[in-house]
Amino acid sequence: FREAASMNEYEHILCAMGPVGLPSRILSYKLHSYLTYVSPEENLEDMTKIGHTDPITLNNIYRFRTLNELTTVYGVTGWPLVKTNSPAIHNAGYQRHAMNSVFIPIRSQSISETLDFAEQIGIKGLAVTVPYKEAVLPELVEEDTEAGEIGACNTIIRRSNGWYGCNTDTYGFRRALAEFLGQDKLHHRRVAIIGAGGAAKAVAYVIKQMGGKACIFNRTAAHAQVLAEKYGFAYSGLDADSSAMLDRYSDVIIQATPKGMNADSPSCPDNDPLYFYQFHGTEKLFDIVYVPEITPVMARAENAGCEVCNGLQMLKYQGYKQFKLFTGVDYERTDTK
């Protein structure tokens, strides 16, 4: 992008290669590039790994032909960020509400590099995902109450004095869980939270608010302890020795680790964080992972007769809140053009 600023004497084609180069393919108008490159749709699976996109996605999701100097740019940043549904959600919203905006994936190996890039090309807001939800906090000039209390931030907005951080995972999770359970209070029901990372922190905050009695289960028990003590919850490791404890907290089980994400085979036990636990069929399992649609642990729970839910609705709802924070417009408003 810097190079493009100095290339104004002759027509040129400019495109950044590799996995981090995708923004240059979508925003080629900012580079004054004569053309952009795409790859055939059938090769997309491999191409996304090296930063390519296909012509249908470029036109239908990113609305490439409508982008111009007046387009407001937003994005999602993370690493490796191989698969993300956020561009589809946000770009559909811009289209629906007739906004000249675009939302792009920004793969980056450091959050400060993302922010440098964002400053340079004038990005107005970013969704922040694995592994930067905590690392982004020191980069903010201010944060909202939830991001501050949870210690994780998944949404940043550019204000005149710097980046302002929010957490919309809490809203997304609360709404999706309440829909799944058919109620928004847990009335002391026993809840197992699997994981103690960025997403689990938002989950624990919401479960406390909803009145659940929880136990945090995590591979590294010390991380579970820190999170559990914050909310007065119990904690445990996550292995065969924790099976009896999990039994005691199994009214609702929230899976909040990345294990099972992008699992090729739904029946592979290596991708099941609860491989040691026998479901009774009475548990309600909410897995916040949404790719694949049915994770290995969901498949096993469903076979035992449990009600299960993946993280897609959570993702949508947190995205709707993000959309409102970015644009001021209610995503779900129906009186649109």
Q: What distance in Å separates the CA atoms of residue 142 and residue 169, rounded to the nearest whole number?
A: 18
**How do 125-128 and 142-143 pair as beta strands?**
unpaired
Residue 170 touches ligand NAP, criterion: CB under 6 A? no
Residue 29 touches ligand NAP, criterion: CB under 6 A? no
Beta bridge partners of 158: 163
With CB atoms as reference, the residue minimizing the distance to ligand NAP is 197
Stretches 26-34, 35-43, 116-124, 217-225: which one binds ligand NAP (CB under 6 A)? 217-225
Stretches 68-76, 110-118, 206-214, 252-260: which one binds ligand NAP (CB under 6 A)? 252-260
Q: Which positions ≥6 away from 303 have C-beta within 8 Å?
A: none
Residue 219 touches ligand NAP, criterion: CB under 6 A? yes
Residue 196 touches ligand NAP, criterion: CB under 6 A? yes
Residue 109 touches ligand NAP, criterion: CB under 6 A? no
Q: What distance in Å separates the CA atoms of residue 73 and residue 37, rounded to the nearest whole number?
A: 20
Least distance CB 197 / ligand NAP (angstroms): 2
Catalytic residues: 133
Closest Cα partner for 290 from 95, 86, 91?
A: 86
Residue 133 touches ligand NAP, criterion: CB under 6 A? yes
Residues 287 to 316: which contact ligand NAP by CB under 6 A? 288-290, 311, 314-315
Alpha helices of the chain — where are they, by DSSP H? 2-6, 22-26, 44-47, 55-60, 86-96, 111-121, 145-150, 169-181, 198-209, 221-231, 243-248, 296-303, 312-327
**Residues found near ligand NAP in the complex (CB under 6 A):** 130-131, 133, 169, 172, 195-200, 218-220, 223, 256-259, 261, 273, 288-290, 311, 314-315, 318
